[in-house]
Chain A
Amino acid sequence: MLNNSVESEQKMSEFEKTLDENGPIIQAKGVEVYYGEKQALFGIDIDFQKHQVTSLIGPSGCGKSTFLRCINRMNDLVDIARVEGQVIIENQDIYSKDVDVVALRAHVGMVFQKPNPFPKSIYDNVAYGPRIHKTVTSKDEMDYVVEHSLKRAGLWDEVKDRLQEQGTGLSGGQQQRLCIARAIAIEPKVILMDEPCSALDPIATAVVEELIDELRERFTIIIVTHSMQQAARVSQKTAFFHLGNLVEHGDTDQIFTNPQDDRTENYITGRIG
């Protein structure tokens, strides 16, 4: 089993090299989203770099979640939603006909605002993804993946003695880390996080933020947040949305210290939003 993971790690690093040569991992080109008649996003163009954390900020209702959900096609679930434009992940347009959302979501994981562990055991929560994608076949290997994922999510020490207990019985912060462990257990390339800390207290938030910083080494992370401080703390890049438009995006330092657009400045200084 160790062999296997070493092998896969080797494969991963080779893969990463080729990717780095290929430039950004995700490119959005003219993404527009309509909910029925109502347009929620207007021509979004943005690139996301590998191994970076990008924050999406902006006032409520500006389309951050909508955009995030375009990246793993969760908007497909909304009957009235219609997406136009292109989202290219690793040179593949994910809205082209030959893309299967199941395969896509195995590569683009998601962590939601409200912790939503399955009402199953902690072990099964983490093991579910590898099990359905059949990336892990033996019981030993599964044990390893579960342990490894929980360790990377910083939850292992707290739950190692009660893996068979219900995931829903954990505290809110632990549940959110369990959800992160569940997302990374299938080794996605990208992790999308929609306000992952909004239901957590400051201490749990700090733990998750630290975790995000560590996960950056292996994954590309896009995080929606309402907290400027959080954006400043965890992300290298920041994108500011306003009324369905991408107003400005760039290095986090630059956005927070020297915004180019008035709307951005007003928002981060607390005058709108």
Chain B
Amino acid sequence: MTNPFSTEAAGLQGRHTSERLFKLSGLAAIIFAIGFLAVMVGSIAWTGSGALRESVIQLTVDLGPDNVDPSDVDGASYRTIVRDALKASFPDVKSRKDRRKLYGLLSPDAALELKQYVRDNPDAVGQVVNVWLLASDDADIYLKGGVDTSLEESQRKFSDAEVSWVDSLTESGQTKRQFNKRFFTNGDSREPELAGILSSLVGSALTLVICFLISFPMGVGAAIYLEEFAKKNRWSEFVEVNINNLAAVPSIVFGLLGLAIFLNFFGLPRSSPLVGGMVLALMTLPTIIIASRASLRAVPPSIREAALGIGASRIQTTFHHVTPLALPGMLTGAIVGMARALGETAPLLMIGMVAFIADVPKGFLDSATALPVQIFLWADAPQRGFLEKTSAAIIVLLLFLVLMNLLAVVLRRKFERRF
């Protein structure tokens, strides 16, 4: 007698094969996706990590009475002092052209740094001291190994002379790399070695504050109205369909709307976080409405019946019982919406938040830019030094996005409802 449960049973083989194939293809897709993500994040992190370190060059500067008047420390020409120090280090550089190149080893901010140093160390006045000064972006790239010296001199920006100067400084221990604090404390700059993300970060924060203040109350209010009060009829269906459509509208369209209405019609200040936040709020609103309605719908009807059954009015039922239970879900939806708004570039370009902003915005009406727009600007900049800044800014942006999504997950876990 044959075994009816045999693995050889007719048709079984084929079924198992298709199951295995399906599992395999699913696994392959996941591996592919994870691999892709790893490569992308890895390469960005690799490039971006350079931006966390800056190169500095040590110079012997003469702060003697010839150069710095002890009674008027701020009046001294630190630019000349720095240049003299460079000249003294390389006495054989004579021609004007070469000298200019030599000065180019240091950042234009080096003189300001020296001034700051003198202010912080008044004792140094009248002495000859060794100070570390910020290198220029080109020298920085060379020191980080970003210049291929095997190339023909005419094919690279960093000439043989510059290479030899930096090499000789390195040999005598006069170059080093240190943590780049500037990247987090400076605004944007034309000089890559001076550029930082603070101004755009603050711009993004201000924009998101406005966005949240507008879209959360409005979105939650709309959701509560639609879910708890509106009669279910043609009208509410029409509104529902349109909210869903709105969620799918490309963000640049909201930018155009903001340009036409907020800027051109109402004349609100261009490039301001106020307008940026309003535009992003338009974009986030449907997301929040949809998430809030879903979480309201998840509140069991028995709670509503219980409250209405003992004579609570609709408003009381909604605000005493239903909304508190739905709030965590609403917040989660709002955070996810905010995360999306944080990464949004296109609508901000439309309302002029793409300007060069070196100063940290101090209020909602100041000109500002946002982190993703800053990334866009740097990616577009010609200097090679901005390459690593771009990647580093992307890392910062991704970090914030991950944090926000994590917060949403934590909130959801923490307040998961138990009925």
Chain A contact residues, CB within 8 Å of chain B: 72, 74, 77, 79, 102-106, 109-110, 112, 114, 116-119, 128-129, 132-133, 168, 179, 182-183, 186
Contacts and interface: CB of A to CB of B under 8 A. Distances in A.
A110 B307 CA distance: 10
Contact of B313 (A72, A102, A128): A102
Nearest to A80: B232
Q: Is the interface of A mostly helix, strand, loop or mixed?
A: helix
B263 to A, nearest CB: 43
A74 B309 CA distance: 7
B311 A105 contact: yes
B413 interface: no
B311 A106 contact: yes
A110 B300 CA distance: 17
Could you say which of A102, A103, A116, A118 has the most chain B C-beta atoms within 10 Å of its C-beta? A116
Nearest to B304: A77
19 contacts: A77-B308, A79-B231, A102-B311, A103-B311, A105-B309, A105-B310, A109-B310, A110-B309, A110-B310, A112-B306, A116-B303, A118-B306, A119-B325, A119-B417, A129-B310, A132-B311, A132-B312, A183-B310, A186-B311
A92 to B, nearest CB: 16
Given A79-B231, A168-B418, A114 B310 contact: no
B305 interface: yes
Contacts of B6: none
A182 B310 contact: yes
Interface in B304-338: 304-313, 316, 320-321, 325
Contact of A133 (B232, B305, B311): B311
Nearest to A133: B311
Contacts of A186: 310-311
Contacts of B321: 118
Contacts of A72: 309
Interface of B: 231-233, 300, 302-313, 316, 320-321, 325, 417-419
Contact of B303 (A79, A105, A118): A118
B367 to A, nearest CB: 48
Contacts of A183: 309-310
Enumerate the 5 nearest inter-chain pairs by beta-carbon distance, A residue then B residue, closest first: A105-B311, A116-B302, A110-B309, A106-B311, A129-B310
A129 B307 CA distance: 8
A105 B325 CA distance: 24
Given A117-B306, A118-B321, A119-B419, 6 more contacts: A105-B311, A106-B310, A110-B310, A112-B302, A116-B303, A183-B310
A35 to B, nearest CB: 14
A129 B308 CA distance: 10
A183 B303 CA distance: 14
Nearest to B325: A119
Nearest to B309: A110
Contact of B232 (A74, A79, A118): A79
Nearest to A100: B313
B305 A112 contact: yes
A81 to B, nearest CB: 12
Contacts of A179: 306
Contacts of A79: 231-233
A110 B417 CA distance: 25
A246 to B, nearest CB: 24
A182 B308 CA distance: 12
Nearest to A182: B310
A102 B310 CA distance: 8
Contacts of A168: 418-419
Nearest to B310: A129
A119 B322 CA distance: 10
Could you say which of B232, B309, B313, B418 has the most chain A C-beta atoms within 10 Å of its C-beta? B309
Contacts of A103: 311
A74 B305 contact: yes
A132 B309 contact: no
A32 B276 CA distance: 57
Contact of B307 (A106, A109, A114, A118): A118
A168 B312 CA distance: 20
B302 A132 contact: no
A112 B231 CA distance: 24
Nearest to A166: B418
Given A79-B231, A105-B311, A119-B419, A132 B316 contact: yes
A105 B311 CA distance: 5
Nearest to B302: A116
Nearest to B313: A102
Nearest to A104: B311
A119 to B, nearest CB: 7
B295 to A, nearest CB: 15
B383 to A, nearest CB: 59
B249 to A, nearest CB: 30
Nearest to B417: A119
A61 B231 CA distance: 26
A51 to B, nearest CB: 21
A72 B305 CA distance: 12
B305 to A, nearest CB: 6
A74 B310 CA distance: 11
B311 A116 contact: no
A112 B303 CA distance: 11
A145 to B, nearest CB: 13
Contacts of A106: 310-311
Given A79-B232, A119-B419, A114 B302 contact: yes
Contacts of B304: 77
Contacts of B316: 132
